Homo-oligomer: A and B are copies of this chain.
Amino acid sequence: MTDDRIIATYRVTSEPSRIADRAQGLAIEQSVECPLDAIGDPWVRDAIVGRVALIDQIGAGRYAVRVALAAATAPAEPGQLLNMLFGNASIQPDVALVDVELPPAYLAAFGGPKLGLDGIRARTGVHRRALTASALKPQGLAPAALAAIARQLAEGGVDLIKDDHGLADQAYSPFAARIAAVGRAVDAANQASGRRALYAPHVSGSLDEMRRQLDLIRAETIPALMMMPMIVGLSNFHVIAREAEGLVVLAHPALSGATRIAPPLLLGKLFRLLGADATVFPHAGGRFAYTPETCRALADAARGDWGGLKPCLPVPAGGIAIDRVEELLSFYGRDVMLLIGGSLLAARENLGAEAARFVAEVAAHGA
């Protein structure tokens, strides 16, 4: 790979007799998006038009197509990069984006996780075992009720407590009031336990609103936050990830399924590249349909060696119950944070004990 080309790998469904034309069409769609004979400028033809690098049959009527896109079309601006990788092709039903190989300049420009997996271990004080997480549910509860849940989870030993992803700034739980109540409850539990559970509020809205929320988070000395990159736009996710210096940045996959970008690429590689210290995703076998292969590839993309970027902590979630802890830890190893939400909360008034059971199970198997 040269420094002036990005290699995008697409999975294309096609008949054998058409794949060569289809691949060429894709290379044009994701670069100049016009007929080649409309291009008089030889430099544009040589340097800007996308080039098919490889077509590989991977199954009946299924092909992996590697396209070399000109880095010049995609300066290190996250939204524009995504646009040039898949903006128009996302509208075509026969193609999915499965991988991207970026020249080193992008990694330097975007920076990757500022804290990453090791930073989260340092902040939580959990160095040897796998980590645990849960969520404040259901939305509709007032701040005081959410704070009570948070306190029980923290007292039970859970390492990270996130807002339910539906919690934003609703009337029943306004952002400022919620983070104050929950933040203080978690602090109180930490002081009593000597542990360092982290609370991650959901930061959402326009970039202006996200900045206001970040200010409130800092004012409450809350050590983490969660965002939904596909909802807020990758550019703004990256801006806030940078401005949240010192805070753990958790990425949530809401809306990630709407456009056929392979989860290991989107939730593993790209969210990591743009600053996610941890990335939430649905583990196989729950309410979502990721395969074990997808989950493994996602964890590898998040954690693996990549141009010096810090590893991003995988956070498998989505319908996990305590009886699957051993299985998941065996699958992911110890550099993982398991997120159990609803099934812990189903314990209702026994939440604290159930949280402790979760934590003990992870400690028993994940160290």
Q: Please, how many angstroms separate the alpha-carbon atoms of A206 and B31 in the complex?
A: 22
Contact B231 A232 (CB under 8 A): no
| Residue from A25, A73, A80, A208 whose CB has the most chain B CB atoms within 10 Å | A80
Contact B258 A139 (CB under 8 A): no
| Residue from A79, A230, A288, A347 whose CB has the most chain B CB atoms within 10 Å | A79
Q: Is A235 an interface residue (CB 8 A)?
A: yes
Instruction: Give chain A's interface secondary structure class.
Output: loop
Closest 7 CB pairs of A and B: A233-B233, A87-B254, A34-B342, A207-B207, A48-B140, A32-B138, A44-B140
Q: Please, how many angstroms separate the alpha-carbon atoms of A232 and B205 in the complex?
A: 12
Contact A169 B77 (CB under 8 A): yes
Contact B235 A170 (CB under 8 A): no
- Residue of B170, B235, B255 touching A259 (CB-CB under 8 A): B255
- Given the complex, which residues of B lie within 8 Å of A228, measured CB to CB? 79, 83, 87
Interface residues of A in 183-214 (CB under 8 A from B): 204-209
Q: Is A58 an interface residue (CB 8 A)?
A: no
- Given the complex, which residues of B lie within 8 Å of A235, measured CB to CB? 204-206, 209, 231-232
| Nearest CB of chain B from residue A321's CB, rounded to whole Å | 10
- Given the complex, which residues of B lie within 8 Å of A72, measured CB to CB? 140, 170-172
Contact A138 B289 (CB under 8 A): no
| Nearest CB of chain B from residue A216's CB, rounded to whole Å | 16
Q: Is A165 an interface residue (CB 8 A)?
A: yes
Contact A342 B138 (CB under 8 A): no
Contact B348 A40 (CB under 8 A): yes
- Given the complex, which residues of B lie within 8 Å of A61, measured CB to CB? none
- Given the complex, which residues of B lie within 8 Å of A92, measured CB to CB? 257-258, 287-289
- Residue of B141, B166, B256 touching A73 (CB-CB under 8 A): B166
Interface residues on A, range: 35 or more
Q: Is A124 an interface residue (CB 8 A)?
A: no
- Given the complex, which residues of B lie within 8 Å of A82, measured CB to CB? 231, 255
Q: Is A20 an interface residue (CB 8 A)?
A: no
Q: Please, how many angstroms separate the alpha-carbon atoms of A259 and B342 in the complex?
A: 25
| Nearest CB of chain B from residue A316's CB, rounded to whole Å | 13
Q: Please, how many angstroms separate the alpha-carbon atoms of A205 and B238 in the complex?
A: 11
Q: Please, how many angstroms separate the alpha-carbon atoms of A87 and B254 in the complex?
A: 4
Contact A287 B25 (CB under 8 A): yes
Q: Please, how many angstroms separate the alpha-carbon atoms of A145 and B44 in the complex?
A: 12
Mark each residue of chain A from 85 to 121: 1 if its CB lies under 8 Å from any CB of chain B, else 0: 0111011111000000000000000000000000000
